[in-house]
Amino acid sequence: MNKSTNQLIECVPNFSEGNDLNIIKQITNEIESVEGVKLLNVDPGKATNRTVVTFVGNPEAVIEAAFLAIKKASEVIDMSKHKGEHSRMGATDVCPLIPIAGISMEETAEYAKKLGARVGKELNLAVYMYEAAQENKERNNLSVIRAGEYEGFFKKIKLSEWKPDFGPAEHSVKSGSTVIGARDFLVAYNVNLNTTSTRRANAIAFDVREAGRVKREGNPVTGKIITDEKGNPVNIPGSLKSVKAIGWFIEEYGIAQISMNLTNINITPVHIAFDEVCKKASERGIRVTGSELVGLIPLKAMLDAGKYFLEKQQRSTGVSENELIKIAVKSLGLDELAPFRAEERIIEYLLKDDSKSRLIKMNLIEFADETASESPAPGGGSISAYIASLGISLGTMVANLSSHKPGWDDRWKEFSDWAEKGQNYKNELLKLVDEDTNAFNKIMIAFGLPKSTDDEKKARTQAIQEATRYATEIPFKVMQLAGESMEIIKKMVEIGNPNSITDAGVGALCARSAVIGAFLNVKINAKGLTDKAFAAQLIAKGSVIESKTQELENEILRIINSSI
C-alpha cells in the first residue's frame, strides 16, 4: 500500500483574484480534476481582490492539484492590473501545506519543496519557501518575504540576499512571484469596527499583535524611533502571542477591520483574540461590531469559544455541540456580514463521511421504521447504544437544570462540569449506534468473500475472525460507557434538582438496559471467536460491569423511591 494513502495534508493557496468568479472557477476546476483531493472551501474577497481556497488529500495528490492551480492562476491572472487591500506579490501569492493526519511537519515541508522546485522549473516562476520549508531563518517569515509587494519585487529579486529558492531571479510582470511553504494550522480572522479610520484600526492592531509597534520618543506616531545599542529599532510588544495583525478599510462593507492571522490557536484562540481586540478598541473609544472568518476553522476552536462565552455568563457548558457553535457564532458576531454556515466552515464537518452516521441522522420515526424492517441491522447492539445515549441525556438534563436553578447560583460550575461529562458520554454512545451496525456489516462482507482456493479460504477465515472480534468489541464498549454513565446519573439523583429526580431515574433504567442488552451481543458474537482466551476475558469483564450496573440501579431506585 502507498504510504501517502494513510496521510492527509491540507493546502490553502491564496490567489490574487476575488471578483471574477469565472477566473476563480477555472482555478478550482483544476484542483477538483485531481483524484484523491477534496475541495473544502472557496472564499473570495472583493475588497482584498483575493480568494482563499482550501483543499485536502493525500500528499502526492495535493501537490499535483496545487501545481495545476498555480499554473492556471499564472495563465488567467494579470498582476500588472491587480489592485487590492491585501499584501500580495503574485498571482498565486502564497501556497502553504499543512499536516492534518499521519504526517509530520518535516515530511510536509519536503512536499512543499518538491512543489516549489516543480513550479520554478516547469512554470519558470520565482519561488520562495517559507516557515518549516525554509532553512534560512532570516527569510522564513511570510511578511518579510513579501515586503515590497508585487510592485517592489522587480528590484528586490535582484538583490543577492533575495535570490529565489527555485526558478529564475526574474519577477514575472504577469504572474509575479510565489511563496510556498509548510506551516501549522492558521486561522485567518477579521474583527469589525464601528469606524472607517484605517489609522485607528492600525493602532488597535499594533496594540494586540505579537510584534507590537516601534518604540518612539514622545509622540508614538511621529516621535523619533528608539534603537538599541546595535542600532535596531526597539519594539513595544503587543498583548497577544502568535498573532499577526493589521488595520484596513473594507470598502465593500464600509468599515475598518483588524485583519489577524492566528498562527497558533493553542496559544491565542479565536475567542481570546476577539475579547482582547474588544478591550483595546474600547480604550480608544471604538466598538467591535462583529467578526469574520476567512477560510476554515477547526471544530475545537468553535467549541472552546462557545464554552468560554457560556462560562463568562456563568451558564452550563454541558450543552450540545450545535448549541456551543451557536453561542460562539453569536458571541463573536460571525454572522454580522454574512450568514455563518457551520457545515461549510468547520473543517471536521467538511471531512465527515455521513455514510458512517446514517442511523443517527434519521428522525425518530425513520429510525423506528428502519429497526422494525426486515433488515437485521440496526439490531440489539445499536438499540442498546441508543438507549444508553438517552439515559445519559436525561442525567445531563438534570445537571443542566440544576446548574440554572434559581438560588443555586453558587453551584452552577459544579453542575456544569457534570453536564459536560454527560455530553461527552452521549456523543460517544451516539457514534456507537452506527458503529455497531457497521461492525455487523463487516461480518456480512467477510462471509461474502470468495472461497474457491486454499488461499482465498484462509483470507476469508481471517477476515471473518477480525470482523467478529470487532463486532464483539463494539457492544463491549457500549457496556463500558453505559456503565460509567450511571455514576453521573446517580450523582444527579443525590445532589441534583429534586424536581427532576425521576427523570434521572428513567435515565438509570435506560443505562442498565443498555448494559444488559449490549452484553447479550458481546456473548453471542464471542461464541464465534477462535481466540477463546480473548472471548473469556471479555465476558468476565462484561459480567463485572453488568453486576456493578445492577447494583447502581438498585441504589438509585432506592434513593428515588424514598424521596417521592
Q: Which residues pair with 130 in a beta bridge?
A: 181
Largest CA distance in the chain: 89
- Strands 178-182 and 127-131: what pairing? parallel
Question: Residue 120 in contact with residue 67, Cβ under 8 Å?
Answer: no
Looking only at the bridges linking them, the beta strands covering 92-101 and 178-182 are parallel
C-alpha span between 293 and 218 (Å, rounded): 37
Catalytic residue among 43, 165, 434, 436: 436
Record the cell numbers describing residue 464, joined without a space.
471473518
- What gap in Å lies between CA 86 and CA 48, rounded to an integer? 5
Residue 147 and residue 99 in contact, taking contact as beta carbons nearer than 8 Å: no
- Residue 261: phi and psi, rounded to 5, are -110, 115
**Sign of the four-CA dihedral 202, 207, 209, 211:** positive
CA gap 240, 269 in Å, rounded = 10
Q: Has 409 been annotated as catalytic?
A: no
Active-site residue, from 82, 86, 171, 271: 86
Report yes or no: 211 and 238 within 8 Å, Cβ to Cβ: yes
DSSP per residue over 172-239, as a string?
A: BTTTB-EEEEE----EEEEEEES---HHHHHHHHHHHSTT-EE-BSSSTTTSPBPB-TTSPBPEE--S
Identify whether 171 is a catalytic site residue: no
Query: HEC profile for 447-488?
Result: HCCCCCCHHHHHHHHHHHHHHHHHHHHHHHHHHHHHHHHHHH
Helix (H) or strand (E) holding 418: helix 412-447
Listed in sequence order, the residues at least 6 apart from 124 whose beta carbon sits closer than 8 Å to its beta carbon are: 167, 168, 172
Contact between 212 and 280 under an 8 Å Cβ cutoff? The reply is no
Q: How far is CA 538 from CA 429, 487, 511, 541, in A?
A: 19, 22, 19, 5
Residues marked active site are found at 86, 436
